[in-house]
Structure 1
Amino acid sequence: MEQRILLCDTTLRDGEQAPGVAFGLPEKEMIARALSDAGIDELEVGVPAMGDGEIKTISQLVTLQLPVRLITWNRAVLSDLQASYKTGVEGVAISIPTSDQQIKNKLRKDRAWVLDQMGQCVLNAKKEVGYVVLGLEDASRADFTFLAEILAEAQKLGVDRVRFADTVGILEPLKIFFTLQELVKISRVPLEFHAHNDLGMATANSLAAVQAGFKAVSVTVGGLGERAGNASLEEVAVALKYTLQEKVQLDLKRLNSIGLTVSLASNRKIPRAKPIIGEDVFTHTSSIHIDGIQKDFANYQTYPPESVGRGHSTSIGKYSGRKTILRLLKAKGIDLDQETIDELLIKILQQTHKLKRPLEEDDIMGIVVSAC
């Protein structure tokens, strides 16, 4: 079987931790089905310890029998795991703080306590579910020797995957590459990278982790998540294929529709310039760019927009220039003298400034009619 990088989506867990976001069951079903149909490798679907309502919702997702592994997120607390077992999920993620900052100042414990609690919870989970992910919270600020000790223990306990979390989004790609490749050398357990986007580097950091040898990446649709969010599914998936030339199972043509689905469910608009799924990311306005793609799309694209269910478009703006206007007029069968075209360009520029947006074809034709 050909090796590929696993895309582990946590939109229904970490994504739902974004301020003001709360998915109802129909919305969770819709998102889970969309991701599953697109070929996502794993779905982290919630936190059963939140209560009976969450347990019921996750249980209903399990009954859908989607062709994808469903896991839940848990603290290293037996009561959390017992709540997860009630849902019938195939796997559980068990999260343990690994930095001294969090061990001492959040838990008020020590490293020995963390290892002991980890051991108890993993052994308990191995009896109840088929897949166990060990999440290393705040691993980016943890001591390397302690991480190595945890990895060795995780292997003995039979953990299926270890998740390295840059919980506060403090890392940068070079540090990730050189640090994480050392973890890869000592780990016999597959490693996953979980990025936060506090400094705008979640996608770059996720790619650096893959280059260092990590086999899985944690993502959310649109980068939805706490604070500045997580690594974006669409950015990571496309970059894996077209930048790193890695094999991904996900159907990239579905990314746009998935993004719209989550946007509606979360009541959060997709920014116009959002990579991959933003309204403007395949739209060309400057005359130089429009002329370039008319000659060869490769002049101004790194991957075909059709590969992600999109297409090229053009708009008229401040930098569109004479050639772009003439091309539009010719397509409409309109022939104007030089003086009229000069007047038209001035009016287009004025209207662009007034509306503060690109002009649509109807806007242009309205200006043409008024100028003739």
Structure 2
Amino acid sequence: MAGVTKSQVFIGDTTLRDGEQTAGVVFTVKEKISIARQLDAMGVHELECGIPAMGEEERDSIRALVALGLSARLITWNRAVVPDIEASIACGVEAVDISLSVSDIMIEHKINKSRDFVKEQLKRALCFAKQNGLYVCVGGEDASRADSDFLIELMQIAQTNGADRFRFCDTLGILDPFAMFEKVGRLRAAVPGLDIEVHTHNDLGLATANALAGVRGGASYISTTVNGLGERAGNAALEEVVMALKVACGIDVGIDTRRFQSVSRLVGRASNREVPPWKAVVGERVFSHESGLHADGVLKDPKNYEGFTPEEVGLKRHIVAGKHSGTNGIVESYRQIGIPISREEAQELMDKVRSTAQRIKGPLAPMDLVKLHKRRGVSLAA
């Protein structure tokens, strides 16, 4: 992305807010503190940490996070109404997102109001927040289905009244990256003085791609969650967005990616949604190689088949013995369990390895390899 630098892209994480809104997910205060500390330690710039208007228990958990004195900015989610903002102020946070329904379908069929009502609602809530010295992100719920001219009008009102940024929400996850680029680009051109954040959902599997397209269109903030946790199909995954920016776009946002594996497992356990082994970037087996050509290529030089190293994201490489293994892969599989064999021995074992994998419908475990090696020794002695 020509012209975009590290200092111009900021990562916000909403695992503790939108992530916990996943149906059936509840974090304890202890879990929230652990997640927040890990995200802060790895350098995430902002943490959306809850919804104060939910009640005193939620406010207590937010106060506990504020008391940690993290480097990351803590921001809360609020409806664009004064009582919600007052609840946030009572928690001790210094930044708020004030959310408005901005598409005509939601204005008419969710809040049963008019565009004029939304504009006045924005002015009242925003002015109150700024009078209290808060950093304010104006959240445009369902912005992806809203009229662009109306969004521009709202952004102009927001800028005039002191807002710090505007959150463009693809609430239903319905955009493709080309539409995201065009929509954000138009808003950026129309209101150049107001930062834009993209908040993308994964209903079509495009959340990460749409987040990157938003940056290409001119957004400077990206909203993410660990493991892509979130309502319905989830949000843009923190680990995917950061690595995609780094590897595909040449943008290093200053986050310690070596901590991804640790925070991913933590959130997986806390949410009772364990990380699939094939999950992009952080899955335990995404650096596994079985196919003869691939395993041979990786063993000669990992760059042949890996766009980034497993160590960059806290993982390890695995050479798997299975149906598609070649000679070098079998040699390496035995080396991994402490049994050195020659290429000639691997060639002799290859048929047995492949037939065993076919029979068990999967890769060979270390004990399977040991048994085959022992049987081979017996057959040679005979």
Q: TM-score range by the shorter chain?
A: over 0.9
Q: Greater shift after overlay, 42-51 or 294-303?
A: 294-303
Q: Which residue identity is paired with 2:136?
A: V
Partner of residue 238, structure 1: 243
Tell me whether 1:213 sits opposite 2:218 in the alignment.
yes
User: What is the CA–CA distance in structure 2 between the aligned matches of 1:210 and 1:2, rounded to whole Å?
Assistant: 12
TM-score normalised per structure 2 = 0.92
Q: Greater shift after overlay, 178-187 or 7-16?
A: 178-187
Tell me whether 1:60 sits opposite 2:61 in the alignment.
no
Aligned-residue offset at 1:238: 0.6
Q: Which residue identity is paired with 2:147?
A: D
Tell me whether 1:146 sits opposite 2:153 in the alignment.
no
Q: Greater shift after overlay, 66-75 or 320-329?
A: 320-329
Partner of residue 100, structure 2: 96
Q: What are the residue-to-residue correspondences of 1:1-372 with 2, within 5 Å? A: 3-187=7-191, 188-326=193-331, 328=333, 332-334=339-341, 344-371=349-376, 372=378
Unpaired runs of 5+ in structure 2?
none
User: What is the CA–CA distance in structure 1 between the aligned matches of 2:73 and 2:119, rounded to whole Å?
Assistant: 27
| Residue correspondences, number | 370
Unpaired runs of 5+ in structure 1?
none
* DSSP-derived class of the 1:162 partner: strand
User: What is the CA–CA distance in structure 2 between the aligned matches of 1:94 and 1:260, rounded to whole Å?
Assistant: 31
- Per-residue Cα deviation, 1:257-296 (whole angstroms, up to 9, x for no partner): 1101111111111011111110111111111011101221
TM-score normalised per structure 1 = 0.95
User: What is the CA–CA distance in structure 2 between the aligned matches of 1:57 and 1:163, rounded to whole Å?
Assistant: 24
- Per-residue Cα deviation, 1:111-164 (whole angstroms, up to 9, x for no partner): 000000111000111122431010000000000110110111011011011100
Change beyond 3 A, Cα 1:324–1:157: same
- Per-residue Cα deviation, 1:170-204 (whole angstroms, up to 9, x for no partner): 00011111221111111210000000000000000
User: What is the CA–CA distance in structure 2 between the aligned matches of 1:369 and 1:78, rounded to whole Å?
Assistant: 74
Change beyond 3 A, Cα 1:333–1:10: closer
User: What is the CA–CA distance in structure 2 between the aligned matches of 1:235 and 1:335, rounded to whole Å?
Assistant: 39
* DSSP-derived class of the 2:15 partner: coil
Aligned-residue offset at 1:335: 5.9
Q: Is the 8 A contact 1:74 1:93 kept in 2?
A: yes
Change beyond 3 A, Cα 1:329–1:112: closer
User: What is the CA–CA distance in structure 2 between the aligned matches of 1:349 and 1:2, rounded to whole Å?
Assistant: 47
C-alpha root-mean-square deviation of aligned residues, in Å? Answer: 1.9
Change beyond 3 A, Cα 1:105–1:332: same
Q: Greater shift after overlay, 22-31 or 243-252?
A: 243-252
* DSSP-derived class of the 1:236 partner: helix
Aligned-residue offset at 1:65: 1.0
Change beyond 3 A, Cα 1:190–1:337: closer
Aligned-residue offset at 1:328: 4.8
Aligned-residue offset at 1:356: 3.5
User: What is the CA–CA distance in structure 2 between the aligned matches of 1:194 and 1:167, rounded to whole Å?
Assistant: 8
* DSSP-derived class of the 1:95 partner: strand
Q: Greater shift after overlay, 179-188 or 353-362?
A: 353-362
* DSSP-derived class of the 2:308 partner: coil
* DSSP-derived class of the 1:293 partner: helix
Aligned-residue offset at 1:19: 1.5
* DSSP-derived class of the 1:71 partner: strand
